[in-house]
């Protein structure tokens, strides 16, 4: 158990301390609250649970089991390490004891989590209730010789959405016995199923329900989730059925000191701060030197590798015995590499790991005392998931949130109550996105011919999508059924459920002529362009060439002291206005748009100092996609009033756009990279000055729609973020964006502040008339 007060005093006494501690939230210890079951457990199950020391049940566990026993679909939305797995394990094991034919399917977002939970389930249920192959994981790593046996004999199947989509549903005939007797479907880590991935999973679950109806089963669904603002709504959208919500957490909590750590200013006038990566390295290595087992999170694969390198080098100089007791962990590593790191943490061989959010989910990595979040993770839900990785023994723990130089992180440093005093964000999915719906309709038609009443499963967009697929030559109608054309085979193989793009890019190590790793097609141009420095397990690789048609990037090991960052430009065309409303003194709109984005170059930036040492152009194809966007007008006389004050209208628009994009994740469960934007003093489609904020994924996933709903709240938070920033002319903490394709020019901080004031202030003497029409001209 860490002495948090002593460690904080140690940090403050260090010569490098520059008042980085912006806030300390002392989260108090919380006692357990227990609940009672409406009907007692069977004697054998009660003995099993007593042996495992998981009784008595916490109140939320008892409430969930009672609701499930009543036949309700249930979503349990409570904190990390609150015992959510028992909420579904008890009714599932009861079903196994009641009828030897009952079956259950457990879905986890990753293979690692499924395999980890299989071990835990075996410890609970074996050998008294289930034994051997009766509990099994079925994924891409399952040996071929075991697969037929699993289909025939397994009672609890643990898998992931990818395998359900690719391996089980298209081959449902060989799973007929299992599906016919399917009693429960468990969806763990349900908050992870949001955005593009969640929209895909929603259709996979509808395809599963469709096949269950074919074989005569109607399973109950049980979802486990981190805390969300809309757990019931999210569960219903994900599965397509009504849900009861259990969210009153009865589990005990050991307490936590949660420290907001703001890197010190190195240039107060420009509000330039010390590198957050260096601050993370300092905190991580100081914790390790005090023998505190720690986990440091970073926002990207690249930063994970950088912080690991910095930490390894620092420990090699100051505590050599610890240098080989840390490792990086992220998606893209081979499965065996990830398992070794997980086991190293669990066994205690490793003292610390630097990870992406790949370790945010509940893989058992043992007991940790401290977590470091390098940058706000993008959502309150993820913040608590990552912070909750320490203190799982119900003892006091320590967490740090290190602010980045962006509007949202700095907003939290000045307004900690925005995190500690409000509920989590809304999880958003869009089952009507045609780029996601249509591929799954093809998959469903492969599994079983489509019919008109499938609209009850796939929603209002079903009929239009069917018409488009017929017109495109994918489906044909016969006897009021829609069949795939004979030329289309196994469409699931062509449907990437973690992206709206069909194909990924492979990275080849030319020094060994071997596959290094795989990146998503949608983000490839931002990661593996010619000249990019790509990090893999701490080793820098130079991307020497990119084969766009072949979807391959070629890399060679290199040693450099810089990293690379892309520049891109965006244009936007309004296709259709879906909604409009008066907000404050202007009109706001939601509509369908077509976005054209192109990576046009990259910068070379020095490690540690972030100094730009070079800039290179790139000639890569444009990415054109339809999506949803919100946009809003500006008061008609805003340009004239800014000009009279000697301020730049274009710079004010641009600054407001950047800051608003940075603050939107405060309300929608998304990452800043899920959002794009555009500001212009004149847009050809509306005939006026405009600010657009759009979903960055084809078809949209609901982020712009949520922003449109909460536009006045977004303006208010944006106004605070800009107005309270101590810089003079604008900085990365308020109006500058690292993604800006225009080198953050022009920007006018004061102009943005005045525009925001005019958007919401009450008109004075008619000086600020409400705008009349920002729709399509």
- Provide DSSP, 13-56: HSTT--S-EEEEEEEPPB---B---SSPPPHHHHHHHHHTT--S
Stated pTM of the model: 0.82
Which H or E element spans position 578?
Answer: strand 562-583
- pLDDT classification of 766: cutoffs 50, 70, 90: very low
pLDDT at 773 over 60: no
Say what the pLDDT of residue 767 is. Answer: 43
Q: If pLDDT is split at 50, 70 and 90, which confidence band does 769 have?
A: very low
Secondary-structure breakdown of the chain: helix, strand, coil percentages, each rounded to the nearest 5: 40, 25, 35
Q: Which helix (H) or strand (E) holds 383?
A: helix 380-387
Distance of CA 368 to the CA centre of its chain: 23
pLDDT at 765 over 70: no
HEC readout, 751-773:
HHHHHHHHHHCCCCCCCCCCCCC
DSSP bridge pairs for 624: 596
Distance CA(279)–CA(20), nearest Å, equals 9
Residue 35, classified by CB atoms within 10 Å of its CB into exposed (0-12), middle (13-18) or buried (19+), is middle
When pLDDT is cut at 50, 70 and 90, the band that residue 473 belongs to is: very high
Q: From CA 30, how far away is CA 254, in angstroms rounded?
A: 7
Mean pLDDT on 121-147: 91
Q: What are the structure tokens assigned to 90, written together?
A: 């008890």
Residue 395 has pLDDT above 90, yes or no: no
Asked if 389 and 368 touch (Cβ cutoff 8 Å), the reply is: yes
Helix (H) or strand (E) segment spanning residue 663: helix 649-663
Residue 325 dihedral angles phi and psi, to the nearest 5°: -105, 15
pLDDT for position 400:
98
Residue 422 binned pLDDT confidence (cut-offs 50, 70, 90): confident
* Percent of the chain predicted with pLDDT > 70: 96
Residue predicted with more confidence, 242 or 762: 242
DSSP-assigned states of every residue in 507-530: EEETTTTEEEEEE-TTTHHHHSST
Average pLDDT over residues 197-207: 96
pLDDT of 273: 86
pLDDT value of position 270:
74
Least confident of 175-189, 334-348, 524-538: 334-348
Residue 777: predicted pLDDT: 47
Task: Determine the pLDDT at residue 392.
Answer: 66
User: Does the pLDDT of residue 331 top 80, yes or no?
Assistant: no
Q: How many other CB atoms are found less than 10 A from the CB of residue 416?
A: 17
pLDDT digit string, tens, across residues 589-630: 999 999 998 899 998 988 777 788 999 999 999 988 999 999
Instruction: List, in sequence order, every residue forming a beta bridge with 572; answer none if it has no partner.
Output: 595
Distance in angstroms (rounded) separating the CA atoms of residues 568 and 683: 19
For residue 646, what are the CA distances in angstroms to 290, 749, 764? Answer: 55, 12, 22
Question: Mean pLDDT for the chain?
Answer: 91
Asked whether 77 and 225 are in contact (CB, 8 A), the reply is yes
- Higher model confidence: residue 204 or residue 765? 204
Q: At what angle do helices 4-13 and 276-289 cross, to 10 degrees?
A: 120
Give the rounded percent of residues in the chain with a pLDDT score beyond 90: 70
pLDDT of residue 81: 83
pLDDT tens per residue across span 50-69 = 999 999 999 999 999 999 99
Residues 496-549 have pLDDT tens digits of: 897 766 678 999 999 999 999 888 887 789 899 999 999 887 789 999 999 999
Residue 552 · residue 726 · CB < 8 Å? no
pLDDT, greater one: 535 or 580:
580
Q: What was the pLDDT predicted at 301?
A: 82
The two structure tokens encoding residue 388: 């909750």
Q: What is the pLDDT of residue 507?
A: 95
Cβ neighbors of 719 (< 8 A, separation 6 or more) are: 753, 756, 757, 760
Q: What angle do CA 38, 41, 44 make, to 5 degrees?
A: 175
Structure confidence at residue 501 (pLDDT): 64
What's the average model confidence in pLDDT over 182-193?
A: 95
Question: Is a pLDDT exceeding 60 seen at residue 349?
Answer: yes
Q: Is 540 helix (H, G, I), strand (E, B) or coil?
A: strand
Let me know: does 706 contact 640? Beta carbons within 8 Å.
no
Q: Tens digit of pLDDT for each residue in 663-714? A: 998 888 777 778 999 999 999 999 999 999 999 888 898 999 999 999 999 9
Of 661, 213, 646, whose CA–CA distance to 454 is shortest? 213
Please write the tens of the pLDDT for every residue from 206-236. 999 999 999 999 999 999 998 888 999 999 9
**pLDDT category of residue 393 using cuts at 50, 70 and 90:** low
First to last CA, the chain: 65
Do 62 and 34 meet the contact criterion of CB atoms below 8 Å apart?
yes
Residue 776's pLDDT is 54
Using CB atoms within 10 A of its CB, is residue 27 exposed (0-12), middle (13-18) or buried (19+)? middle
Assess whether pLDDT exceeds 70 at residue 22: yes
Q: Taking 60 as the threshold, does the pLDDT of residue 768 lie above it?
A: no
- Angle made by CA atoms 588, 590, 596, in degrees to the nearest 5: 115
List phi, psi (to 5°) of 145: -70, -15
Q: What is the mean pLDDT of residues 370-393?
A: 87
């Amino acid at each position: 158990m860490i002495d948090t007060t002593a460690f904080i005093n140690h940090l403050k006494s260090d010569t490098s301390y520059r008042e980085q501690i912006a806030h300390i939230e002392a989260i108090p210890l919380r006692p357990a609250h227990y609940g009672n079951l409406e009907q007692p457990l069977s004697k054998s199950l009660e003995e099993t649970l007593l042996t495992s020391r998981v009784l008595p049940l916490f109140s939320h566990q008892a409430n969930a089991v009672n609701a499930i026993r009543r036949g309700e679909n249930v979503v349990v939305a409570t904190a990390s390490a609150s015992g959510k797995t028992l909420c579904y394990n008890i009714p599932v094991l009861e079903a196994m004891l009641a009828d030897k034919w009952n079956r259950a399917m457990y879905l986890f977002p990753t293979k690692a989590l499924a395999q980890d939970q299989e071990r835990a389930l075996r410890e609970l249920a074996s050998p008294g209730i289930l034994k051997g192959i009766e509990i099994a994981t079925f994924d891409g790593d399952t040996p071929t010789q075991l697969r037929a046996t699993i289909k025939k004999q397994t009672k609890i199947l643990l898998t992931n959405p990818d395998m359900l989509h690719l391996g089980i549903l298209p081959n449902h005939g060989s799973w007929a016995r299992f599906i016919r007797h399917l009693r429960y479907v468990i969806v763990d880590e349900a908050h992870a199923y949001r955005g593009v991935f969640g929209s895909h999973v929603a259709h996979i679950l509808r395809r599963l329900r469709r096949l269950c109806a074919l074989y005569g089963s109607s399973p109950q669904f049980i979802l486990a989730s981190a805390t969300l603002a809309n757990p019931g709504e999210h569960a219903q959208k994900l599965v397509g059925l009504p849900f009861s919500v259990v969210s009153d957490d009865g589990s005990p909590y050991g307490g936590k000191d949660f420290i907001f750590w703001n890197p010190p200013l190195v240039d107060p006038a420009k509000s330039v701060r010390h590198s957050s990566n260096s601050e993370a390295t300092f905190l991580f290595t100081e914790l390790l030197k005090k023998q505190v087992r720690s986990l440091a999170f970073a926002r990207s694969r690249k930063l994970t590798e950088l912080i690991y390198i910095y930490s390894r080098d620092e420990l090699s100089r100051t505590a050599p015995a610890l240098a080989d007791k840390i490792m990086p962990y992220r998606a893209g590593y081979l499965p065996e590499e990830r398992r070794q790191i997980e086991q190293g943490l669990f066994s205690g061989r490793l003292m610390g790991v630097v990870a992406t959010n790949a370790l945010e989910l509940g893989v058992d990595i043992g007991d940790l005392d401290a977590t470091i979040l390098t940058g706000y993770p993008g959502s309150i839900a993820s913040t608590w998931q990552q912070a909750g990785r320490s203190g799982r023994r119900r003892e006091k723990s320590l967490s740090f949130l290190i602010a980045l130089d962006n509007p949202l992180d700095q907003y939290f440093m000045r307004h900690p109550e925005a995190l500690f005093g409000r509920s989590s964000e809304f999880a958003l999915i869009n089952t009507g996105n045609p780029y996601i719906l249509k591929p799954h309709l093809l998959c469903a038609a492969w599994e079983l011919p489509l019919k008109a009443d499938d609209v009850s499963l796939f929603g209002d967009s079903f009929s239009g999508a069917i018409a488009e697929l017929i017109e495109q030559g994918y489906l044909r109608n016969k006897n009021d059924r829609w069949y795939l054309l004979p030329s289309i085979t196994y469409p699931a193989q062509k449907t990437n459920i973690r992206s709206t793009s069909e194909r990924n890019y492979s990275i080849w190590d030319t020094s060994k002529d071997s596959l290094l790793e795989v990146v998503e097609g949608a983000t490839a141009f931002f990661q593996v362009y010619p000249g990019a420095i790509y990090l893999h397990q701490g080793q820098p690789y130079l991307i020497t060439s990119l084969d766009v048609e072949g979807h391959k990037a070629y890399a060679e090991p290199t040693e450099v002291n810089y990293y690379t960052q892309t520049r891109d430009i965006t244009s936007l065309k309004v296709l259709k206005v879906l909604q409009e409303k008066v907000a404050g003194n202007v009109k706001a709109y939601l509509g369908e748009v077509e976005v054209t984005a192109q990576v046009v170059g990259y910068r070379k930036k020095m490690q540690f100092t972030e100094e730009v040492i070079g800039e290179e152009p790139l000639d890569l194809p444009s990415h054109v996609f339809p999506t949803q966007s919100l946009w809003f007008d500006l008061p008609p006389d805003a340009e004239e009033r800014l000009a009279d004050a000697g301020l730049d209208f274009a710079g004010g628009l641009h600054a407001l756009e950047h800051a608003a994009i940075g603050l939107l994740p405060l309300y929608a469960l998304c990452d800043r990279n899920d959002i794009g934007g555009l500001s212009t003093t004149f847009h050809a489609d509306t005939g006026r000055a405009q600010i657009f904020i759009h979903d960055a994924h084809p078809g949209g996933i609901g982020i712009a729609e949520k922003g449109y709903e909460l536009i006045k709240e977004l303006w208010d938070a944006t106004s605070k973020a800009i107005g309270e920033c101590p810089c003079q002319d604008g900085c990365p903490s308020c109006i500058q964006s690292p993604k800006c394709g225009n080198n953050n020019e022009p920007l006018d901080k004061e102009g943005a502040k005045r525009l925001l004031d005019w958007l919401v202030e009450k008109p004075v003497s008619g000086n600020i008339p409400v705008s009349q029409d920002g729709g399509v001209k």
